[in-house]
A and B are shown apart, each in its own frame.
Chain A
Amino acid sequence: MRIFNFSQPLNFMRLKWAAVGLSTLLVLGSFASIAIKGINWGLDFTGGTVIEVGFATPADLTAVRQTLTDAGYGDAVVQLFGTSRDVLIRIPLRTDVEQAAVGDSVISALNTQQSEPVTMRRVEFVGPSVGQELKEDGGLAMLIALIGILLYVTMRFEWRLSVGAVASLAHDVILTMGLFSLLQLEFDLTVLAAILALIGYSINDTIVVFDRIRESFRKLRATSVDETINDAITSTLNRTVITSATTMMVLVVLFYMGGALIHGFATALLFGIAIGTYSSIYVASAIAEILGISREDMLPPPPVEKEGENTDAIM
């Protein structure tokens, strides 16, 4: 069984300007959304208190809100979390009470005011300085990851491919953040981990295509750059689609079965991998092509791989 079986390479590069145009639009759109709507930073980054409590019967959110207002937490955001019996309470940072004590006082207020006691499932408090640091560290991590990849790909391949790869990664990250901003999904520490994992996954995809481009350049001497890239993308298309498919499969499982805490993580990766599959086909190669990559750039060959039929396989 095969998904794709082409006798001729598909002409991917015919659409390169359309792809670049579309991606530019999407990136600009994401920036606009981030600028206008902002990002719904989670507790990890803003600081504050999040309390998850469990009720024995479906929770009455109005009553919970009333209890909290009476206890002096009128600014609390109360919502259901995962099931109708789980309630998530968010309380922003305040200066008038001792932050670290908010969780305990809310739980005791709920326990005394409600007709039935609640069970504490989770209390998280993050101080203001910690949140700011996490934001900075997260940004730094993304930057270091991108620079590391830029250097590695330049070393192993060529600078034009390297720029293409990093541009496509930045594209994936920006679009995923744009989606989170547009839908106002909560951006917490697990989403940050997902975006970093996405960088790792997407570069994997891109490298596979690049490896094939390098090989095709050496194999197909008489063809144009466009045709060579088309050939490389076509012959890796099956692999690209299958790997994306198995990965998306497990992510769908994770989304539906992994529980509410993992939702953001699964969402970011699902969307990011869909985008990443497109960008490693189109954005990375198209940018390298537009930057003027040529056969000569790929020719000074790195150590020739052993082709000897009679030698033992490396593995």
Chain B
Amino acid sequence: MLNQNPLWRYIVVIGMLLLALVYALPNLYPEDPALNISATRGGTVAEETRLQLEQSFRAANIAAKSVVLEEGQVLARFHSTEDQLQAREIASQQLGANFVTALNLAPATPDWLSAIGATPMNLGLDLRGGVHFLMAVDMKAALDKNLNDMVQTFRADLREDKIRYRNVQADVARGQVQVSFRSEEDVAAAEAALKKRDRELVFTRSSDNLSLLVSISEIRLREIREYALEQNITIIRNRVNEIGVAEPLVQRQGADRIVVQLPGVQDTAQAKEILGATASLEFRLVDEQGDLSAALEGRVPPNSELYYTRDGRPLLLEKRIMLTGEHITGASSAFDEYSRPQVSIKLDAKGGNMLSAATRDAIGRRMASVFIEYKPGTEIGADGNPVLIKQQEVINDATIQARLGRDFRITGISSPGEAQNLSTLLRAGALIAPIQIIEERTIGPSLGKENIELGVTAIQWGMVCVLIFMVIYYKAFGLVANCALVANLVLIVGIMSMIPGATLTLPGMAGIVLTVGMAVDANVLIFERIREELQEGRSVQQAIHHGYDRAFSTIADSNITTLLVALILFGIGTGPVKGFAVTLAIGILTSIFTAVVGTRLLVNLFWGGRRVQSLPI
């Protein structure tokens, strides 16, 4: 008999729907206003912190829903936004500068759902409010700095090799360094000498054969660009953590761009100030003669200053700065020959000379690296923003073993993680390529909420219109198509929640509305076919069978082309448009499934394989 459902078909369809339904469920639970408390660099949040917070909330009569410690952070949930704001005040007063307190909306997903990894959809900034920055790294500055470093290095190298040169200068426009000589022998000698020191250099001679034009290889150029970008991303990540955002996103985009998304942040001026602030680095000698205990009581020796290390140990440092971070051209963590963690640092030529001179008479003494950064404090300034506080801390102090030059290492570091951390900070203090904000989008929280409401109403009413129309036009078959449409919506939401990278945006919601309108197309095609077959005098069973069969190739062809467009849209679109492409593509796939497989199941169940004289279509 035609048009009967094998058991596996029920299992597949019902199984998929149930799965999608379960994963769509977390979206129905409202979000709790919450606080995220994490420690800044080096610190940890422990059980005591959690207890302490819980007690002070109770003392201030704030009823917290829960205060839990998870993944090294304390998450405190509250019943209302007022409680949340009040609790933030208390928490930041009590914990001080070593902790970051961030406002957050924590999904109130029940435990059994979180246990199977079901989470609500990611919402785009246009729906949850927040700020989006697109920043461009000034690669030209990085390359220019590299050229200037080359000039200094060449001068030093040639002097060292006793090759006489007339002039060394950077040609920024052409991206090369020109070295002129008095004789052709000197040119040849210089080329050989410089090549020996750096294999990545590319040499050409000028027309009069008296100058060398030196540029760097493509590989090295790419390295410099990558380095500048990575460096900036690292720094921005560190700073974003200081701002106190619950789920920040810092991501590279293309060759020289960085996307920063800070959900929930409203005060863009403050965010920009923090992101744009420059960190710097200083190397100073430790004043070991000075009286530390006297200094702690306020009597600091005249030539010294009192600093603290990251773990709070006081240290007296000389006022004289040996070297600043701008001369650092690279810092990386590695292992020495005894596989102990170490950090290797590279300086430019000038920096090498300065350090060499400064360490000549200081072998055996200790040198400290001081990291200086600006972060918002608890005090509020005249403009309503927290005043930025200059924060200086000693990130490392080590004994100088020998006279230091352009390449040196810091050893005696306790763990590989520490070495990694130190090299990151050293690089951060030596920012070589400045960044510029080239796009900024800030969405207020009220607008975000409104956008969600508007989108949901549009989806609801669009759905209602189509449902009514289909029942009027196709009667019982219309009801079948309507079941498919509802199932389609559940599938879209379920799949969007399952894919970690999928983000729902306002255009994405518009895409869902559009899908609702277009999804019935496949059913319209099938039903019209069935009607035609019936008109041509086929039996009911044959009409159903042929209707589905014949319509399928049309449905496939027409949807593949639409899918093609969605993929192109995804490939070139950014932000909200990408969100639109994602929902469109998912909607096409799910609508084919529900309209072809899903409705066939119902049609077969109700009318298939029995002696029916006519169809309610």
Contact = CB atoms under 8 A, between A and B. Distances in A.
Given A126-B439, A208-B525, A314-B549, A265 B569 contact: no
B525 A246 contact: no
B564 A246 contact: no
B146 to A, nearest CB: 23
Given A52-B447, A309-B2, A309-B542, A203 B520 contact: no
B572 interface: yes
A200 B562 contact: yes
A199 B571 CA distance: 16
A193 B518 contact: no
A97 interface: no
B510 interface: yes
A253 B3 CA distance: 37
B565 interface: yes
A189 B469 contact: no
A100 B461 contact: no
Contact of A265 (B383, B465, B507): B507
Interface residues of A, number: 78
B230 interface: no
Nearest to B462: A250
A224 interface: no
Given A249-B466, A257-B461, A127 B438 contact: yes
Interface in B566-582: 566, 568-569, 571-574, 576-577, 580-581
A315 B553 CA distance: 12
Contacts of B548: 313, 315
Contacts of A100: 272, 436-437, 440
B248 interface: no
Interface stretch (B80-88, B178-186, B295-303, B448-456): B448-456
Nearest to B474: A1
Interface stretch (A24-32, A234-242, A286-294): A234-242
A170 B517 CA distance: 23
B462 A125 contact: no
Contact of B597 (A122, A249, A315): A315
Contacts of A251: 513-514, 517
Contacts of A242: 473, 520, 524, 528
Contacts of A58: none
Interface in A184-212: 189-190, 192-193, 196-197, 199-201, 203-205, 207-208, 211-212
Interface stretch (A13-21, A70-78, A136-144): A136-144
Contacts of A145: 564-565, 568
Contacts of A60: none
B3 A313 contact: yes
Contacts of B11: none
Contacts of A149: 561, 564-565
Contacts of B571: 141
Contact of A197 (B3, B561, B580): B580
A297 interface: no
Contacts, number: 238
Given A149-B561, A257-B454, A238 B440 contact: no
Contact of A235 (B532, B580, B600): B532
B518 A201 contact: yes
B472 interface: yes
A54 B450 CA distance: 13
A254 B462 contact: yes
Contacts of A196: 565, 568-569
Interface in A229-286: 235-236, 238-239, 242-243, 245-251, 253-254, 257-259, 261-262, 265-266, 269
B462 to A, nearest CB: 4
Given A130-B438, A305-B550, A253 B600 contact: no
A223 interface: no
Contact of A305 (B475, B510, B553, B562): B553
B507 A246 contact: no
B509 to A, nearest CB: 8
B304 interface: no
Nearest to A153: B561
Contacts of A130: 134, 438-439
Given A100-B437, A137-B572, A314 B455 contact: no
B446 A119 contact: yes
A211 B565 contact: no
Contacts of B552: 314-315
A119 B565 contact: no
- The DSSP consensus for interface residues of chain B is helix
Contacts of B454: 257-259, 262
Given A257-B461, A314-B552, A200 B561 contact: yes
B554 A258 contact: no
A242 B465 CA distance: 13
B507 A123 contact: no
A29 B387 CA distance: 59
Contact of B442 (A122, A258, A266, A269): A122
Nearest to B454: A259
A63 B491 CA distance: 50
Interface string B411-442: 00000000000000000000000001111111
A100 B549 CA distance: 58
A200 B513 contact: no
A120 interface: yes
B193 to A, nearest CB: 42
Interface in A89-135: 100-101, 103-104, 108, 119-127, 129-130, 134
Contacts of A254: 458, 462, 510, 513-514
Given A250-B517, A309-B2, A207 B558 contact: yes
Task: Name, among A140, A204, A212, A236, the residue most crowded by chain B CB atoms within 10 Å (CB to CB).
Answer: A204
B98 interface: no
B557 A156 contact: yes
A246 B469 contact: yes
Nearest to B441: A124
Given A100-B437, A140-B572, A239-B525, A193 B507 contact: yes
Contacts of A119: 444, 446
B559 interface: yes
A262 B462 CA distance: 15
Given A189-B576, A265-B510, A253 B440 contact: no
B517 A249 contact: yes
A247 B518 contact: yes
A141 B532 CA distance: 39
Contacts of B473: 1, 242
Contacts of A199: 565
B569 A141 contact: yes
A196 B513 CA distance: 16
A313 B440 contact: no
Nearest to A86: B447
Contacts of A246: 465-466, 469-470, 517-518, 520-521, 524
B522 to A, nearest CB: 9
Interface of A: 1-2, 52, 54, 100-101, 103-104, 108, 119-127, 129-130, 134, 137-138, 140-141, 144-145, 148-149, 152-153, 156, 189-190, 192-193, 196-197, 199-201, 203-205, 207-208, 211-212, 215, 235-236, 238-239, 242-243, 245-251, 253-254, 257-259, 261-262, 265-266, 269, 305-306, 309, 313-315
Interface of B: 2-3, 126, 134, 136, 266, 268-269, 272, 383, 436-444, 446-447, 450-451, 454-455, 457-458, 461-462, 465-466, 469-470, 472-473, 475, 506-507, 510-511, 513-514, 516-518, 520-521, 524-525, 528, 531-532, 542, 545, 548-550, 552-554, 557-562, 564-566, 568-569, 571-574, 576-577, 580-581, 584, 596-597, 600
9 contacts: A124-B440, A140-B572, A156-B557, A190-B507, A193-B580, A239-B525, A258-B510, A259-B451, A309-B542
Query: Which 5 pairs from chain A and chain B are nearest by CB?
Result: A250-B517, A127-B438, A250-B462, A200-B565, A247-B517
Given A190-B580, A193-B573, A242-B520, 8 more contacts: A119-B444, A125-B439, A148-B564, A149-B564, A204-B518, A262-B507, A262-B510, A265-B510
